[in-house]
Amino acid sequence: MKTKPRRLQRAVTLGVIALATVSLQSVAAQAAPHPDPNPSNRIVGGTRAEQGEFPFIVRLSMGCGGALYAKDIVLTAAHCVDGSDATGITVTGAVVDLESPDAIKVKSTKILVAPGYDGKGKDWALVKLEKPIDQPTLKIAKDPKYNEGEFDIAGWGADKEGGQQQRYLLKAKVPFVDDATCQKAYGDRLTPGEEICTGKLHVGGVDTCQGDSGGPMFRRDEAGEYVQVGIVSWGDGCARPESPGIYTEVSTFAGDIEKAASEL
């Protein structure tokens, strides 16, 4: 696997998937630009989410995460579903254990990729489901005031550098990294205004990774309710010092997302 190619998008194709929330002693997994299935039940340095803690988070069968924008619409990353068969995705929800008999599995019927998506910025998409998943939804940020502070991340992606996927949903918190600092790491690969950066900049150790693409980055609003601020998109490796994780800036595209969802 190459080290630091231009864009390391955080998707896999098969297997159960997990979040890289590794200890500071562990180096986190490199996000593969192409499918790299590594199924495993092992968790390294992560914190397991409780059943029902984040009921809006779902898993997509191609190896990505997502969030219930509506009970029958999933918000995910464009690079996860671009070119996919509109009826070929299975969405799993309602569980933290992907092997649970209580898992709800629903097929897709339509896919809408962000207009103008070309692999740089605009990394969002919607997946319409054949029937609703009866779980709470996650509202999206419509105001950039939520784009700073500390964020929650959760998913089933790889657990360490070159690592394996997870059966159980893991969670972590990551701090905001400003655009100027982030551009020192990524230069013109970053698209300010369309992407948000996070991470423990100087020490690394906590991040999303391959298999977490499309999953939500979220925080509490003034009312104490969760609001989605970002969508897991890409990064150089995972949890490396001086290499922040990159997320689609949801507030920038809130109007476009709402309009697209109304037309699905």
Residues forming the active site: 79, 123, 213
CA distance 219 to 242: 23
CA distance 230 to 86: 24
| Rg value, the chain, Cα | 16
The candidate with the shortest Cα–Cα distance to 93, out of 55, 62, 50, 41, is: 55
What tokens were used for 74?
Answer: 């999933």
At 176, which helix (H) or strand (E)?
strand 170-177
Beta bridge partners of 183: none
Cβ neighbour number for residue 196 with a 10 Å cutoff: 31
